Structure 1
Amino acid sequence: MNPLLSDWDTPFQIAPFDAIEDDHFAAALDAAMAADLRETQAIAEYPEPASFANTIDAIERSGALLDRVAGAFFNVAGADSNPAREALMREFAPKFSTHASAIYSNAALFARIQALWEARATLGLTPEQERVLMLIRRRFVREGALLRGAEAERMKAIKSRLAELGTQFTQNLLADERDWHMVLSETDLEGLPQFLIDAARATGAEKGADGPVITTSRSLMEPFLKFSPRRDLREKAYQAWAARGANGGETDNRAIAAEILALREERAGLLGYESFAAFKLETEMAKTPEAVEDLLMQVWAPARAAAEADGTVLTKLLHADGINGALERWDWHYYSEKRRKAEHDFDEAELKPYLQLDRMIEAAFTCANRLFGLEFAPTDVPLYHPDVRAWEVRRNGEHVALFLGDYFARGSKRSGAWCSAMRSQQKLAGDIRPIVVNVCNFTKPAEGQPALIGYGDARTLFHEFGHALHQMLSDVTYPLISGTSVARDFVELPSQLYEHWLEVPEVLAEFATHVETGEAMPKEMLDKVLAAATYDMGFQTVEYVASALVDLRFHTGAAPGDPMARQAEILQEIGLPHAIGMRHASPHFAHVFAGDGYSSGYYSYMWSEVMDADAFEAFKEAGGAFDTGMAKKLEQHILSVGGSEEADVLYTKFRGKMPGVEALLKGRGLAA
């Protein structure tokens, strides 16, 4: 018996991870894809004329087994990979592409969809049904349903190859991140705060290294660059961080990135678009590359000016240390931290004992309770890794969701942080409640020690939990529009908006408690933390916008044969300051090259930030961060309705109008 293909007699019908072995996945995925194709073909060949029920409802009900099996597989493949799972990813990436192509190129199926589209005004559809019909038809068209002959075959080949390349890009990056580490001697530890020393020792023990180590995990790398007085070691660490995916050999991603860009351009051309960015942005809030460029450049000028002014101050600190020459990229974090400590009279080492992971999780839960009435109770379910924790989410005694938190970095987990749904909410097949997962990469403490995180980590936790709320509170009929199934430049609104609650003084006062004494963060420190909220924002904005502009311009003109050369040209055109690098250079830009999700779309964080700054202002105007009326409007018009309407319509219902860029600039401290 393959547990993936059996009925899941588990709490909340979660995947039976305690019974699943790697050998089960291939057979289950093959069987599930075959079942999906049979279901799809039955819809296409249904003997009666197309109706919404026998075509669109049937499409939305089809593939349930595949959704279930794939939900389990992709979760473990990203969060707890191993050689067997990596091999499965390589094997099944083209299979999934071929499977999707078989569905989207089914002429008989598309004919039924088209017939309904042409007769839509006479069908008496609900607004949600009208939206689902439009989205399904649009997806078929954008996947090539109108192509014929050689063009249709070429489209299939392009999508299959892109799936292979995206998987290889991800695995190369994971290999580079897993393999590189820098062992520190006792002398090398001088000047480092105790929390970082403890984390480095724990990581070294996990890797079996002869001493404490620094890896390319952001939760280790950034504090090392902040605190190490050893410029030679900072340079070595930074260069390794920046070189991920560009080290030559089998894990080099540069040629892969070039091929991906060329294939995307060809794909867009087959569909009649002048560029891949034009194709990709058509369905987003921004609509056009020009609108994205305009937003980014409105932010770029004040951000670069702020960063250059900061760079001048940091260069003086560098020279005061007796180091001649220019401020380098491995210097910025170190001297910026020195400056912050001097100007704001606190540093991360003093702050971190007040940021216990468990207390920050509790803070995120409590805010959700005060805003939306959600309650979180630990629960015992089968899990894919010992570090994962589970909570049942309830409201007014009713089950809402199952929430999983996977917070610690490990060699088997890809970098970054993300939210996914093993199962999405829907009502079409019954009252299906979601299973939502937050994955982070915080440094795991030594055995028996509490987990302490940085302030940026705490923001990440709140950010990903905002995505989780979007999934948990979803209340729609159709899976296609459930939860975070919204425009890419709208999906970050709930997550970035939720970050604001971390900075509410009463939240930090209650939950930022000292790991040893249990005492609340002193008001003096709390005031300093909040006053420093926009500190170094020029740097942060520049490294982000540089990456977003490179992504956009990669996909707007002709695909570059040498992405690294084109990247350098773009950075020169916009005037990137010498001492600041892109947040994600192309060979490790997984947002853009690991799949199509954020391709031409890395800007979306900033597009959403325009709204999140304005949305939190609405709470302030209404009476405070926990105003019940605004919370109800947020749930009613944004968090519960998924993609049931266009994003700008949903936001306007919530706020009354669309915002300008001014709130963003003010929130980042880049405007008066």
Structure 2
Amino acid sequence: MRDDTPANPLLEPSPLPFSLPPFALLRDEHYPEAFDLGMAQHRAEVEAIATDPETPTFENTLVALERSGALLSRTSLAFFGTSSSLATAAVQAIEQDYAPKLAAHGDVVRLDPRLYARIKAVHDDEDALAALDAESRRLVERHLTEMTVAGAGLGEDDKVRLRELNEQLATLGTHFEKQLLADTNDLAVLVDDVSELDGLTAGEISAAAQAAREQGHDGSWLITLVLPTGHPHLASLTNRDLRRRLHDAQSARGNRGNADDTKALVLQIVRLRAERARLLGYPTHAAAALADSTARSPERVLGLLDRLAPAAARNIEAERALLEAEAGHPVEAHDWAFWSERVRATRYAVDLAEMRPYFEAERVLQDGIFRAAELLYGLTFSERDDLVGYHPDVRVFEVHDTDGTAFGLYLLDLYTRDTKKGGAWMNSLVHENSLLGQPHAVVMNNLNVPKPGPGEPTLLTYDETRTFFHEFGHALHGLLARVTYPHFAGTRVFRDFVEYPSQVNEMWMLWPEVLSSYAVHHETGERLPQELVDRLVAAQAWGEGFATGEYLAAALLDQAWHAVSVEEAAGVTDVEAFEAAALEKVGLANPLVPPRYRSTYFAHTFSYAYDAQYYAYIWSEVLDADTVAWFRENGGLTRENGDRYRRHVVGVGGAADPLESYREFRGADADVRHLLERRGLD
């Protein structure tokens, strides 16, 4: 009988340009087969390295390890690069099945005592180590450190328990993600009277109508939810009752006592993380998570956060007084964004909604984001209609370097949909590195912009535009890094450093030669008036009390959950009570300014690998604010400045110590005063 089963395209390197995964041929059933074969091949390769009778050397141990696992890496990048963007029931089932298997497989490598001994032997051979180039020496150091922190030095009995904990935590993380997505979709706010949507743009109303039709609610409007507590529509909706409904829906996720309630998962995850930390020799999960970071310890993190929290709390109170004077009544949490925009309009003559017609998505992309990359780095972008992504909404662009040579691919998935998880992010689909002969990176950005109806323009909010620039900063980091070893590719840097280049890229959003290029009225062709820009710049400090407060509340909440010992974790039985006490302790228990993420939908810390490291954004912002000051002091957006920044920061990947690289770029350590000034906390 003839076998009509199509070949699995993952089992061989992609034949497409830049090794783009062959999404047109990929089917869900291909992933389990490729994962199974990939893990088996990788285990065999690691076994051969571990049992090599030759004396351990850099080539037969470290380089061999870097070359291993090609099929598994190819499959993981394709699957996890798209699983959050296309989280169908089938994809979620694969993720739930394979998350613990992949965690267990990772432990096979990280905890292998024979492999650990070989790497340590290479590390301890001082003469041989000194003969290596700097990136190769760093590879030895990083593998040894990462295996040590992971528990490679533990006894066998402890390793058995460690493997169990890692598998359980991987499973719980996928459950958290799945339940949060289901509850987020279920809590979308249905509106039957279009007059309640007063304040939204025609495009936003069109998007709500389209979302309702897709859910079988013809003639109604559906407001889909976003990941942070504050929904963008809260700044525009004039209907106070609808603002309350929307805010309540955003805040209720994972906390309704239904099948998708996440509170039990939160408690399980915290307890298991505390147990794992103790097993690894750390008093808390925060101490374990930060041992291998630029911060090094929870105490240093709290030193920064605690310094900022009192000033943020004071600024919140000052802002509240102005809001209530403008509103003429006490404000509640669902009122804050609305009246904040009114104060901005009254005090600074700036209405962010007034800017929406100037932020048409295609102009933002082509004449803003791409233009800044060209001015700074010499990169250009051309769309490849012949290459397809994993969904019809995905666009593919070829990236060219300053001399016109091909540089990589950039994929963009702009619009929200029910199978896409909330938030905005960057993923790598192919890692650039010279060792494996992969000269080009393939990266992608995801946003969650409501998709308007046919014929309607996609108009971005001010915050969505800034987020677009931010996420593209991650994409540039992935594209520009040039490394020898895949271990250091792109954004494979410390978690509390990875946000720094992306935050720097936000600077170009309002840079004159960039803004004047893309901020054009989509109907009249008029450029954004300079006087409005000037007022916007003058008003930038407005609202920083709220913005800093909601962020710090989440960052400190993340630290609090992971500062508990095994005994303390066992005693926590009420998620809401723990959260309230943690926020009260740091002076940020303000019902008007809830945390950017509450515990029950804090995906960053309970499923997105930012556990005990959500502080990374503001930690990185110290570097970011200092870098912005450097650019301003040195002539701004120029190729000379871009080349320097590329050479010392975004072009390095993880191949050098990030803070040393920063000092080479800046000539000094970052000065925190620039951050304090930016956020009005000085």
TM bucket (normalised to shorter chain) is over 0.9
Does residue 174 (structure 1) correspond to residue 181 (structure 2)? The answer is: yes
Matching residue of 1:314: 323
Letter in 2 for 1:600: A
Give the stretch that moved more between structures: 253-262 or 526-535.
526-535
**Cα displacement string for residues 227-254 of structure 1 (whole angstroms, at most 9, x for unaligned residues):** 2232222111111101111122221111
Residue 534 of structure 1 deviates from its aligned partner by 2.4
Q: Is the 8 A contact 2:229 2:595 kept in 1?
A: no
Deviation at 1:496, TM superposition (A): 0.2
**SS in structure 1 at match of 2:389:** coil
* CA distance in structure 2 between the partners assigned to 1:218 and 1:148 by the alignment: 41
Tell me the residue number matched to 1:369. Answer: 374
The match for 1:284 among 289, 293, 318 is 293
Structure 1 residue 191 displacement after superposition? 4.3
Q: What do the CA deviations read for 1:89-146 (whole angstroms, capped 9, x no partner)?
A: 1100110011111122322222211211221443421111111001111111122211
Using the alignment, how far apart are the partners of 2:188 and 2:281 within structure 1? 47
Q: Structure 2: which amino acid aligns with 1:376? A: F
1:250 aligns with 2:259: yes
Residues 238-247 or 523-532, more deviating: 523-532
Q: Given residue 149 of structure 1, which amino acid in structure 2 is its aligned partner?
A: E
Kindly indicate whether residue 528 of structure 2 is the aligned counterpart of residue 521 of structure 1.
Answer: yes
Aligned to 2:400, what secondary structure does the other structure show?
strand
Equivalent AA in structure 1 for residue 376 of structure 2: L
Contact 2:66 2:487 in 1 (8 A): yes
8 Å Cα contact 1:420-1:437 kept in structure 2: yes
Distance 2:666 2:319 in 1: 35
Aligned match of 1:481: 488
Distance 1:442 1:220, change over 3 A: farther
Residue 201 of structure 2 is aligned to residue 199 of structure 1: no
Q: Which residue of 2 aligns with 1:43?
A: 49
Distance 1:193 1:476 in 2: 46
The offset of 1:55, in angstroms, is: 0.7
| Match for residue 597 of structure 2 among 556, 564, 584 | 584
- So what's the TM-score if we normalise by structure 1? 0.96
The equivalent residue for 2:674 is: 663
2:663 is matched with 652
Distance 1:102 1:220 in 2: 39
Structure 1 residues 425, 389: CA separation in 2 closer, same or farther (over 3 Å shift)? same
Q: Which of 69, 73, 76 lines up with 2:75 in the alignment?
A: 69
Residue in structure 2 matched with residue 152 of structure 1 by the alignment: 159
Q: Which of residues 190, 193, 217 in structure 1 aligns to 2:198?
A: 190
The residue number in structure 2 matching 1:638 is 649
Cα offset for 1:75?
2.1
Aligned-pair distance for 1:539?
0.4
CA distance in 2, matches of 1:521, 1:127: 48
Paired residue secondary structure (1:22): coil
What is the match of residue 549 of structure 2? 542
For residues 493 and 13 of structure 2, the distance between their equivalents in structure 1, rounded to whole angstroms, comes to: 31
Identity among equivalent positions (%) equals 38
Contact 1:492/1:605, CA 8 A, preserved across alignment:
yes
TM-score, length basis structure 2: 0.95
- Structure 1 CA distance for aligned equivalents of residues 121 and 35 of structure 2: 32
Instruction: Report SS of the residue matched to 2:10.
Output: coil
1:462 matched to which residue of 2?
A: 469
CA contact (8 A) 1:200 1:214 kept: yes
Cα distance, 1:479 vs structure 2: 1.0
C-alpha distance in 1 between matches for 2:326 and 2:438: 61
Confirm whether residue 301 of structure 1 aligns to residue 310 of structure 2.
yes
Q: Which amino acid aligns with 2:342?
A: K
Shift of 1:388: 0.6
Query: In 2, are the aligned partners of 1:220 and 1:443 still within 8 Å (CA)?
Result: no
Return the offset for 1:504: 0.9
Q: Partner letter of residue 378 of structure 2? A: G
- Identify the match of residue 217 of structure 2 among 190, 194, 209: 209
Q: Which residue of 1 aligns with 2:340?
A: 336
2:627 aligned partner: 615
CA distance in 2, matches of 1:136, 1:562: 39
Letter matched to residue 290 of structure 1: E
Structure 1 Cα separation of the partners of residues 229 and 296 of structure 2 = 38
CA distance in 2, matches of 1:495, 1:525: 26
Alignment match of 1:34 (pick from 30, 35, 40)? 40
TM superposition shift of 1:280: 1.2
- Of 523-532 and 272-281, deviating more is 523-532
Which residue in 2 is equivalent to 1:627?
A: 638
RMSD: 1.6
Hey, what does 1:350 align to over in structure 2? 354
Q: Aligned pair in 2 of structure 1 residues 652, 642: CA closer, same or farther (>3 Å)?
A: same
Offset, 1:494: 0.4
Q: 1:67-90 CA deviation, whole Å, 9 max, x = no partner?
A: 111111112211011111110011
Aligned residues: 664
Asked if the contact 1:14/1:382 (under 8 Å) is kept, the reply is: no
Relative to structure 1, the CA distance from residue 220 to residue 284 in structure 2 (aligned partners, 3 Å threshold; closer, same or farther) is closer
CA distance in structure 1 between the partners assigned to 2:19 and 2:199 by the alignment: 50
Q: Secondary structure at the match of 2:326?
A: helix
Structure 1 residue 529, shift from structure 2 partner: 2.4
Q: How does 1:7-22 map to 2 (within 5 A)?
A: 7-22=13-28
Letter in 2 for 1:374: L
Q: Quick one: distance in 1 between partners of 2:372 and 2:482?
A: 20
Structure 1 portions without partners, runs of 5+: none
Instruction: Please identify, of 91-100 and 187-196, the stretch whose mean Cα deviation from structure 2 is larger.
Output: 187-196
Conserved? CA contact 1:35–1:63, under 8 Å: yes
Whichever residue aligns with residue 22 of structure 1, its letter is D
Could you report, residue by residue, the CA deviation over 1:507-536 in whole angstroms, capped at 9, with x for unpaired residues? 212210011122211222222222222221
CA contact (8 A) 1:214 1:221 kept: no
The 3-state SS of whatever aligns with 1:391 is strand
Specify the alignment match of 2:97 in structure 1. 91
Name the amino acid aligned to 1:188: E
Q: Which runs of 5+ in 2 are unaligned?
A: 1-6
By how many angstroms is 1:631 displaced?
A: 1.6
Q: CA deviation at 1:465?
A: 0.7
* Aligned equivalent of 1:54: 60
Instruction: Give 2:616's match in structure 1, choosing from 604, 616, 627.
Output: 604
Deviation at 1:203, TM superposition (A): 2.1
Contact 1:508 1:526 in 2 (8 A): no
SS in 2 for 1:77: coil
> What SS is found at the alignment partner of 1:438?
strand
The change in CA–CA distance for 1:308 and 1:497 in structure 2 (over 3 A counts) is same
**Partner SS, residue 25 of structure 2:** coil
- Measure how far apart 1:482 and its partner are: 1.6
- 2:38 maps to a residue whose letter is A
**What are the superposed Cα offsets for residues 522-559 of structure 1, whole Å, 9 maximum, x if unpaired?**
22222222222222111000000011011112212333
Q: Which amino acid aligns with 1:27?
A: E
Secondary structure of the structure 1 residue equivalent to 2:411:
strand
- Structure 2 match to 1:594: 607
Report the CA distance shift for 1:23/1:431 in structure 2 as closer, same or farther (over 3 A).
closer
Distance 1:7 1:620 in 2: 45
- Structure 1 residue 431: Cα displacement: 4.2
Show the counterpart of 1:508: 515
- Name the SS for the 1:641 alignment partner: coil
Shift of 1:387: 0.6
